[in-house]
Chains A and B, each alone.
Chain A
Amino acid sequence: MDRAICRLNNKKGAVFILLVMVLALLFPVIIAGVIDVSNLYRLNKDLKFSLNAATKSAATRADWELIPEGIFLFDEPASSEAICEVFNSNLGIDPEDKGDYYEASSQNGRVRNIRLYYSIYNQRHEGTFVSIPTSGVPVDVTDHDVFASADRPTVFSVASAEYRISPIFGGRIVRVTQASVAQMNVLQHE
């Protein structure tokens, strides 16, 4: 110890000891930073991909009994089942029904709560647009004002996930949000 203090007092060699100390302190910061940035980027991409696949899948669920009459609308229960099934399978979660939205909670990992909200608009009035969802997205899912314009059957969905950043950076919770929309388009023959 006395030797080390002597070294610090001595101009020769003190730089190396200081450099080692600085690097030893910097290393956990760099590693934690790389891991947090990578995890957040990956979570963002996973959430977007899962939501897109789920929304698109829900929009394929047409009501086949109405199609012979020339009416193209969603089979709402099948669309709801599809969006939940595909979203949960892609993220490997088993969420609970919270009324307005679905929530998968975990207190162990870095990703805390994954929430899914969706709205199925099942009317067709081409050219006259309405904003969906009419009641807004629950604030538990996102506090952003997210909406879409629809004039035909449309599936609108929003998902959010909470990520706890490394304790070395304060350990606060960051919320990642993604939205997706898919419509049922029909080619009109005149």
Chain B
Amino acid sequence: MIIKKLNIKSNERGSSTILEVLIVMGLVLFIIFFPAAVFSTTSKNLQLQDVMTLSLQMASIEGGLTDRVEDVIFDNMSAKGLIPEPDDPRYLAAREAVIISSNADARNGNFENILARDQDMPVINISILFPADVEVRLINGISRMMGARGDSLPIRGDGDWYYSASGYILSERVDY
């Protein structure tokens, strides 16, 4: 194939046409897929932001990050297609890859961390980290297609790159 190409290349007529087609194909693919990859990344981050917004409102009512709030976060992620549905065998692995943290973490019965509205400034913070390796691999692949060597964004194992969403709200919980 290469020899054939070289033969064509040595021939003045038509030689550059093949090269031009290859260059144009590479450029067209890059021009189409790179903005798509960038847009996909932004879109996924916005979806995660929506999940965080909903969970923060529920956390405000509950007074912190409870087990129920965590379940709602994963339900919303499933509904938005960020992780598989609960009956999918990949669900548990996908759930474990997501990192949720809070300053009022009341999961697993740690109710002493709950904040109530009559406290001085009961600010609840929730932060969600969601793996972004798929998108990073896509961007790396597209960059390599244009001649980049190695990974433009390095992946050093599972979960190196994350989408991040975090927010603050005051607790509404009434401590009876």
Contact = CB atoms under 8 A, between A and B. Distances in A.
A30 B170 contact: no
A80 to B, nearest CB: 12
A53 interface: yes
B39 A38 contact: yes
Contacts of B71: none
B20 A23 contact: no
A27 interface: yes
A86 B28 CA distance: 46
A24 B31 CA distance: 9
Interface string B9-52: 00000001100110110011011001100110010011001000
Contacts of B171: 60
A46 B169 CA distance: 14
A56 B124 CA distance: 13
B93 interface: no
A31 B35 contact: yes
Contacts of A41: 42, 46
Interface string A16-46: 1101100110110011001100100110011
Chain A, interface size: which category?
Answer: 20 to 34
Nearest to B21: A16
Main SS of the interface on chain A?
helix
A4 B169 CA distance: 63
B121 A81 contact: yes
A86 B121 CA distance: 10
A49 B16 contact: no
Contact of A16 (B17, B31, B39, B53): B17
Nearest to A34: B35
A41 B57 CA distance: 21
Interface residues of B, number: 33
A23 B27 CA distance: 8
Contact of B31 (A27, A53, A56, A89): A27
A30 B121 CA distance: 46
B9 to A, nearest CB: 14
B35 to A, nearest CB: 4
Interface string A37-74: 01001100110011001001100111010000000000
Contacts of B169: 53, 56-57, 86
A27 B56 CA distance: 39
B121 A85 contact: yes
A33 B98 CA distance: 31
A79 to B, nearest CB: 10
7 contacts: A13-B20, A24-B27, A26-B31, A53-B56, A56-B57, A56-B172, A89-B125
Interface of B: 16-17, 20-21, 23-24, 27-28, 30-31, 34-35, 38-39, 42, 45-46, 49, 53, 56-57, 60, 117-118, 121, 123, 125, 167-172
5 smallest CB-CB distances across A and B, nearest first, come from: A57-B170, A16-B20, A89-B168, A38-B42, A34-B35
Given A24-B27, A56-B170, A57-B60, 12 more contacts: A20-B23, A23-B31, A34-B35, A41-B46, A42-B49, A46-B49, A49-B53, A53-B56, A53-B167, A82-B170, A85-B168, A89-B123
Interface of A: 12-13, 16-17, 19-20, 23-24, 26-27, 30-31, 34-35, 38, 41-42, 45-46, 49-50, 53, 56-57, 60-62, 64, 81-82, 85-86, 89-90
